[in-house]
Amino acid sequence: MPRPPFPAPVLDLLRRPQPAVIGVVRPDGSPVTAATWYLLEEDGAGGGQVLVNLDATRKRVEHLRANPHVSLTVLDDSWYTHVTLLGRVTGWRDDVDLTDTDRIARHYTGNPYAVRDRARVTAVVDVDRWTAWGGLRSSMDDAR
């Protein structure tokens, strides 16, 4: 599996507001997945971190705090083409004023996040490796 930086076609997909599925590990070692929004924060060198904003009361938060390993699969318009990012949560921040929540919501919908009465947290994910499939498979081969 290649490591960042990402080739241009992969960056193009990651920059778009595409559907994504996050996978985390429960305390018993079993995986759990959920649909999620994300935001790529680029570092200027073709890599970067991924922000995932979560309801602070969700079990996913508890699982990630106990085991920071995470996968995030970003689907293209055709689900057959996708990129999976493997990494770990390296930072947490309370999103008291919903700044991150609104940034991600605007990325997907053009509007601030509608639910304003729930505590939110942001997980900062460092991407260690990635893999691609479908129309982006050749990008993975080129990155090696």
Give the count of domains, the chain: 1
Domain membership of residue 1 (yes or no) is no
pLDDT in tens, 61-85: 999 999 999 999 999 998 899 999 9
Q: Determine the average pLDDT of the residues in 19-42.
A: 97
Predicted TM-score (pTM) of the model is 0.94
Among positive and negative, which fits the CA dihedral 91, 128, 14, 55? negative
Write down the pLDDT at residue 143.
73
* 133 within a domain of the structure (yes/no): yes
Answer yes or no: is 3 within a domain.
no
Asked if residue 23 belongs to a domain, the reply is: yes
Mean pLDDT computed over every residue of the chain: 95
In a domain, 59, yes or no: yes
Q: Is the pLDDT of residue 141 over 80?
A: no
Parent domain of 40: 8-143
Distance CA 67, CA 132 (A): 24
Q: Where are the alpha helices (DSSP H) in 86-136?
A: 99-109
Q: Is residue 66 part of a domain?
A: yes
CATH code, 115: 2.30.110.10
